[in-house]
């Protein structure tokens, strides 16, 4: 158990809908990262927040957005869902920012868009 929690574990929804994925980092960690894992794209970095501020952006679609709240939990919002958005979404956390700090991954949210 990494100490990172994600809810829900599974989510099934229809195309065009909007969903919110939630992540609570390990106690004391200030950085939260979001990743998408799919069969065709592999593991891709989406976005990072550090202490409430956006820190780095990866291959995140405009339909997707995220934020980190004062209590450091983070939410990833996915809207106008398409079949291709079906994937495993991971959140990770670390104490600091940058590659010196190990990232600890949560259990993931499996999103299925039908």
Nearer to other proteins, 79 or 107 (CB): 107
SS3 84: helix
Nearer to other proteins, 19 or 91 (CB): 91
CB of 90 to other proteins, least distance (A): 7
Q: 3-state DSSP call for residue 97? A: coil
Given a contact cutoff of 8 angstroms between Cβ atoms, the answer to whether 55 and 97 are in contact is: yes
The smaller minimum CB distance to other proteins, of residues 41 and 114, is found at 41
The least distance separating other proteins from the CB of residue 98, rounded to whole angstroms, comes to: 5
**What's the closest the beta carbon of residue 11 comes to other proteins, in angstroms?**
15
- What does the alpha-carbon distance between residue 104 and residue 43 come to, in Å, rounded to a whole number? 15
> Which residues sit at the interface with other proteins, rule CB under 8 A?
2, 33, 42-45, 48, 55-56, 58, 90, 92, 97-100, 102-108
Looking at the Cβ atoms of 78 and 106, the one nearer to other proteins is 106
Answer whether 10's CB lies under 8 Å from 52's CB.
no
- Residue 16: CB minimum distance to other proteins, A: 27
Strands 10-13 and 109-113: parallel
* Structure tokens belonging to residue 32: 């939260």
């Amino acid at each position: 158990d990494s100490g990172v929690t994600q809810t829900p574990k599974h989510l099934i929804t229809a195309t065009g809908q909007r969903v919110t994925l939630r992540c609570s980092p390990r106690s004391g960690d200030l950085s939260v990262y979001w990743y998408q894992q799919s069969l065709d794209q592999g593991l891709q970095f989406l976005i990072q927040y550090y202490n409430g501020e956006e820190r780095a952006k990866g291959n995140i679609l405009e339909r997707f957005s995220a934020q980190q709240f004062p209590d450091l939990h983070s939410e990833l919002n996915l809207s106008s869902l398409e079949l291709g958005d079906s994937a495993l979404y991971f959140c990770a956390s670390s104490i600091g920012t940058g590659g010196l700090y190990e990232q600890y991954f949560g259990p993931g949210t499996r999103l299925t868009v039908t």
